A and B are shown apart, each in its own frame.
Chain A
Amino acid sequence: MNQTLSVLDPTSEDRSPEIQLSERIKGIEGSTIGLLDISKPRGDVFLNQLEKRLTEHGATVLRFMKPTFTKPAPVDLRYEISSKCDAVIEALAD
């Protein structure tokens, strides 16, 4: 006789809800773009350059910073970025 083995699922069995992506920006000009520094050394060097280029192309740039790169961004910061910006660039540099 064939014996089937039953085991218990070791995973969380959570299913992520499907999230609608926010509308993509049409172009850089006239958009407000957030730059999120994750607090790694020299991230500002990279972001300063990005800000310069984006501003040249007509974007309004807002700068944000995570308190530490070792932890996820606080929810208040994520909310602030989403309410003030059309798009965000999170930058990692070392």
Chain B
Amino acid sequence: MAKHADGYELKDGISVVVNSECPTCQLTSDLLVELGTNGHVEIFSQDDPSFPTSAEWVHDDSELSFSWHNDVEAVPTLIRVVNGKEVERLAGWNRKEWERLLEMENLAPDLIDHKPGCGSLSVSPDRVDELEIKFGGRTFISRQVAIASLEDEMEAMHDRGWSDGLPVVPPTEARVNRMLAGTSRNSDDIVAIIPPNLAECSVEKVAINAVMAGCLPEYLPVVIACLEAICTDEFNMHGVLATTMGVGPIFIVSGPITERLGMNSGINVLGHGNRANSTIGRAVQLVLKNVGGGAPGGIDRATLGHMGKQGFCFAEAPSPWENLAEGFGFSSEQNTVTAFTGEGPRILVDQKSRNPESLARSLADGLRSTISTRMVLGMDAMLVISPEHLSRFTDAGWSRSQFIEKMTELLMVDTDEIIEGAGGIEDGIPSAFGGNQLPKFRPGGLLVVHAGGPAGLFSAIIGGWLNGAKGSDPVTKEITL
């Protein structure tokens, strides 16, 4: 009778881990029976406690406890233990090696000399997560929600109000466990206090929502950095969520991590089709809704909203100019997320400007109408400048600061044109401000990001929301792995 391998401690002598379906284990089964019968080895059988035979020295490891705790990667594996300590292990069949380890001669002379083993069930992809949770001591704070066998899990999650309108990936313990491997942070660490309900959000809750959004584990540190950026007084996520204006948080990832995660900073950068771009921002929105309680139509009062509120995240392309994060005091080698409150992107077309002065005027023309031509200073804007447009400036030797300086000059607004009643339009700044020149944007209020496909004379404007202490300021956070 095989006994159950409850204990996983290594005992002095030689232990052999086998699996009845492994051809190498089958090949050596007669030898293993001989060795076991003569008291030379103890056997731990992963799938069949009667393989290679039913005996006192064959232990049932169908729970894979022995295999998992002793990091068995292949079968057969021989582990030699002296004074409670492992001194050597062998994987697969190799007569000379086995003879040396067992200190015996002429082992199974009829067998071929050597044959590699098979993968251990304890490292099989469909078992490893379950075993890590069972034996690895991973505990979850979140409650388990059982979905009945007759329920469709996609519908069940939607009915519970957990989705953003699109299907979500079921956050099983195995998937969440895998997601948590993406960060070095403890699962019960608090990442942020999420508005509007001011709910404490643990790394675990972020991981659950990241699974649902479709993230890979390596995206998790970026999702965490995004939440750290928006849940600050400066960013004022509560206001961004509650405002009737159709804006949402937009995330720009800068630094070497963008390439490692396969993020898109090129063709269709502000569109769909890239997993990291599409799911990182979505995970943040799911946290805001599920953990923070900020549901559209509830605290989210946007009159119109925009599609980017499904999740709006993209990577900044390498640039001859300093990148966005450098503008906020980080280095180009640091991995960062910058959160900006914005509307949907709007294309600026200029296909004929060949010199930088002309293109600067053209871009300024477009930027003047950001949010409203009547509005100055109160709202920032992000200019996503494409490679071909950028080259008009860099080819002429313009630096980023020269560009900003020129844009500031071109974006001075004659207040007579934007006071209340001017041009027959009631909206406008108070008439007392007439007869002046005011800048369209506050200093630093025009953010420039280089991104987009290599061909095409287009750039894009993303208009902002109220800036400063009364609204939302851009916030950059370093991504901690």
Shortest CB distance A60–B (Å):
31
Q: Which residues of B (142-169) have their CB < 8 Å from a CB of A?
A: 142-150, 153, 157, 162
Q: How many positions in chain B have a CB within 8 Å of any CB in the partner chain?
A: 43
Listed stretches A11-19, A22-30, A80-88; interface member: A11-19
A4 interface hit (Cβ, 8 Å): yes
A3 B142 Cβ-Cβ under 8 A? no
Looking at chain B's contact residues, is the secondary structure mostly helix, strand, loop, or mixed?
mixed
A72 interface hit (Cβ, 8 Å): yes
Shortest CB distance A71–B (Å):
5
Looking at chain A's contact residues, is the secondary structure mostly helix, strand, loop, or mixed?
loop
B220 interface hit (Cβ, 8 Å): no
A9 B146 Cβ-Cβ under 8 A? no
B318 interface hit (Cβ, 8 Å): no
B149 A71 Cβ-Cβ under 8 A? no
A8 B171 Cβ-Cβ under 8 A? yes
What class of interface size applies to chain A in its complex with B? 10 to 19
Contacts of B209 in A (CB 8 A): 10
B201 A12 Cβ-Cβ under 8 A? yes
Q: How far is the CA of A6 from the CA of B144 in the complex (A)?
A: 6
A2 interface hit (Cβ, 8 Å): yes
B290 interface hit (Cβ, 8 Å): yes
Q: How far is the CA of A5 from the CA of B236 in the complex (A)?
A: 38
Q: Which residue of B lies closest to A72 (CB)?
A: B238
Listed stretches B352-360, B441-449, B466-474; interface member: B466-474
Contacts of A4 in B (CB 8 A): 146-149
Shortest CB distance A49–B (Å):
21
A21 interface hit (Cβ, 8 Å): no
B residues lining the A interface (CB < 8 Å): 140, 142-150, 153, 157, 162, 170-173, 176, 194, 197, 199-201, 204-205, 208-209, 212, 236, 238-239, 242-243, 286, 290-293, 466, 469-472
- Extra contacts besides A7-B172, A8-B208 (16): CB < 8 Å: A4-B147, A4-B149, A5-B170, A5-B172, A6-B173, A7-B147, A8-B145, A8-B204, A10-B212, A12-B197, A68-B239, A70-B236, A70-B242, A70-B470, A70-B472, A71-B238
The 5 closest A-B pairs by CB, nearest first: A70-B239, A2-B149, A12-B199, A68-B470, A8-B142
